[in-house]
Structure 1
Amino acid sequence: MPRVRPRREICDCLDCADDSSRQVDPTLRSALARLEPPPKSFIIIIDGALIANPSGGNSLELAQLPHLDSLAREGCNGLLAATVGEHTPPLSCQILQGSAANAPPMPQRFKNIHVALVGNCSSLEAIGEGLGSHSTRVLPLNAPQKWPQTERLAKELTSCLGVQPLEEYVASFSLNKPLEDNESDMIILWMQLPEITHRQEEEEEDEASSEAIDQACVALEWTDLLLRSLDSIPGFRDTVLTTLVVTPPPPTPSLKTDGNSNIPTPRLLQHPLAQEQIELDVRTLNSGEKVVLHRPLQSYQFCGMKQVKVDTERSAVVVHRLPGIVRKDRVEELNVAAIEAKGGGRCILGERMLFEIAYKIDKAPKYGA
């Protein structure tokens, strides 16, 4: 049965309540902003869960996501663009490894960073080795209904990050203690949706499309529960830069949508003034000729000084949150239209995201370095 878009309500559970007990001493936040100590980083990538519903809406609108909505309200929202070309890896791999072959491992790029990689991708061990991850944990590639229990996973993740209440975390900085062997600066949790089997008949293709939407919604709701469990652990909200990435599935002929074999996803150039070029009638002093104004190239169309081609049809959603460190924008819920209209992060190349995060946790000398 097709999912119906639910009514979106602000969560009023005790974990999300903005009561007096959650007020934080501003001097502690200032210390974190001065990187004394620098925050930790937790990145969760839900790969293939940003799916448009042929009958209207998308998986972000059809799932019940009160805690992810709260994440969007408290953070900075934007889009990630994927480069396209021959032998170009999927967007999720571009985020982690970049689009260039033989990229140096993360400890070389980011001040000897300690990275732990957790996920259910079949090639996770090879990717972890390429990233220079000091810890890689492979989970079974199951349907989202069988993903790990969120409370237990949250405790394991925060233990690996060494999460403490903000006051204790700031006080420990003066002791100048090195990281423990099992402690990480950054954890990347990469959860991949299993591929839907190709169907031949029209009725079976409709069933496969509905199954893909259901799986995406279950995966997002699992992420919502995981975030609730993480936020309930003292210190997580205040000392960990939380990043959520939801990517569209790779182009595939396995699902049918109105005349197009690919599931439509948010366009980077959807705004009427954001086309490749626009024509305006401009009356100059000498004539009334029609002048063609070309849209300037955008930052996400460059990698360094090199112009790259991006996939304008298939962008990912990204949210960063750390109160006092990451600015808040005017997005009220995790919604593609709201992010396109009000997101403060705008759009960057997916492979530049780790550089932005590394700077915020004092693992890169300057933005983009």
Structure 2
Amino acid sequence: MADKPSRGLVLYGDGLARFINPSHTHLHDLASRGICGFLSLSNSPPSETEDERIVREFAQLLDSCEASLGVNVGGATNLECQQKSLMPTISERFMGMRAAIVANNSSLTSFGGTLGFTVMQTDELIKNNHPLSEPPVDVVASESLKLLGFQEGKTLETSQFDLIFMHIGAGEKANGQTEIIANDVEYINGLVGRIMQTAEPGSEIGSRLHLSLVMSYGAVSKDDDPSLSVLVTKNENNSDLSSLSPRQSYTMKGGNPRDNIRHHCPMLIAQWQYAVTRKDMAKTFSFEDFKEHGGNLTIPADRFLHEVAFKLWKAPKYGA
């Protein structure tokens, strides 16, 4: 733990995990510096739309699946939908935590609003008078850090937010728009590079910024690549040992088995904070490297926010 509360930035690449390649050097650099692993999701319900998937999977990251049932997918959440949600706000759940969501998907921003998040679109971060020659990715990175109280290499005593979620990905884009998806991956790669450059090891910002990069596979089916499974198979060669194989922890909750777990195509996650997070043996941001060398193995996606809140001193202990 740091000697002061951290401030968190979560970059969420929705549906982009399968498009990462060796040229995305900043993503691989982050994986090589931090702690890596998987976040397990539930199976998608039949006939789920893309907007419904986006909200459902994001709700799992926030441990707020119940609240997602009250979202008017495809448009703004109305008062009736807000009243249906009995989920406490993010501030009520995590010791007054001030959090924001930056996203361009209307269903996702509607959902965030019901949970007490401040909602912004990416364009709002670029609205200030920045030089036209400055790349948008640099502007978004610097403006995001400003909202967290990081400016000109310094950490301000106060900040507008403790935590920012930034949703980047295919969103409502149709399947097959490979050029748009490639641009999304390049964008998040550049964003990670710019942020890591600002929070370089030994800097004042580096010791206070807790950076999480989450990359998901988007819409998947049971027929997706079986090699992308986190499930540890039992030793079928010895039936006696097979019967003694324990359940993996991500399949349990409160001592009881979890239902409806998707064992393949989990979210990939790398986290880094200078001199705070552990470093594992992963060298690249890839499923294979995380499974072989990642230090965090697999945890349920609904435990993710609790872990981050602990790093921000907004939860008394991990999993609380």
Q: Scaled by the length of structure 2, what TM-score is found? A: 0.77
Greater CA drift, 304-313 or 326-335: 304-313
What corresponds to 2:31 in structure 1? 72
1:363 to 291, 314, 317: 314
- CA–CA separation in structure 1 for the residues paired with 2:319 and 2:274: 22
- CA–CA separation in structure 2 for the residues paired with 1:111 and 1:44: 23
For residue 329 of structure 1, what is the amino acid of its counterpart? D
Q: Report the alpha carbon displacement of residue 295 of structure 1 after superposing the two structures with TM.
A: 2.7
345 and 244 in structure 1: CA distance in 2 versus 1, 3 angstrom threshold: same
- CA–CA separation in structure 1 for the residues paired with 2:255 and 2:244: 20
Could you say what secondary structure the match of 1:251 adopts? coil
Retained in 1: the 8 A contact 2:36–2:282? yes
For residue 308 of structure 2, what is the amino acid of its counterpart? I
What corresponds to 1:245 in structure 2? 214
1:48 to 15, 19, 22: 15
- CA–CA separation in structure 2 for the residues paired with 1:84 and 1:301: 13
Is 1:99 aligned to residue 65 of structure 2?
Answer: yes
2:251 to 298, 301, 310: 301
What corresponds to 1:21 in structure 2? none
Q: Report the alpha carbon displacement of residue 220 of structure 1 after superposing the two structures with TM.
A: 1.9
Retained in 1: the 8 A contact 2:105–2:172? no
342 and 107 in structure 1: CA distance in 2 versus 1, 3 angstrom threshold: same
1:161 to 134, 145, 148: 148
For residue 244 of structure 1, what is the amino acid of its counterpart? L
- CA–CA separation in structure 2 for the residues paired with 1:296 and 1:103: 33
Q: Report the alpha carbon displacement of residue 228 of structure 1 after superposing the two structures with TM.
A: 2.0
1:1-369 pair list within 5 angstroms: 33-35=1-3, 37-51=4-18, 59-60=19-20, 62=21, 64-84=23-43, 90-101=56-67, 102-133=86-117, 135-139=118-122, 149-164=136-151, 169=155, 179=158, 183-195=160-172, 197=174, 208=176, 211-212=177-178, 214-233=179-198, 235-251=204-220, 262=224, 266-269=228-231, 274-275=232-233, 277-281=234-238, 292-309=242-259, 310-369=261-320
- CA–CA separation in structure 2 for the residues paired with 1:294 and 1:217: 45
Retained in 2: the 8 A contact 1:39–1:240? yes
Could you say what secondary structure the match of 1:311 adopts? strand
Identical columns (%)? 23
Tell me, which stretches of 5 or more residues in structure 1 are unaligned? 1-32, 52-58, 141-147, 199-207, 253-259, 283-289
Report the count of equivalent residues.
279
Larger Rg: 1
- CA–CA separation in structure 2 for the residues paired with 1:34 and 1:194: 35
- CA–CA separation in structure 2 for the residues paired with 1:266 and 1:279: 20
161 and 265 in structure 1: CA distance in 2 versus 1, 3 angstrom threshold: farther
For the aligned residues, what is the CA RMSD? 2.8
Residue by residue over 1:143-163, the C-alpha shift from the partner in whole angstroms, topping out at 9 and shown as x without a partner, is: xxxxx8101111210110001
Residue by residue over 1:217-245, the C-alpha shift from the partner in whole angstroms, topping out at 9 and shown as x without a partner, is: 33222111112222333644332000000
For residue 215 of structure 2, what is the amino acid of its counterpart? V
- CA–CA separation in structure 2 for the residues paired with 1:44 and 1:86: 26
For residue 278 of structure 1, what is the amino acid of its counterpart? N
Tell me, which stretches of 5 or more residues in structure 2 are unaligned? 47-52, 68-85, 124-134
Q: Report the alpha carbon displacement of residue 346 of structure 1 after superposing the two structures with TM.
A: 0.6
Q: Report the alpha carbon displacement of residue 137 of structure 1 after superposing the two structures with TM.
A: 0.5
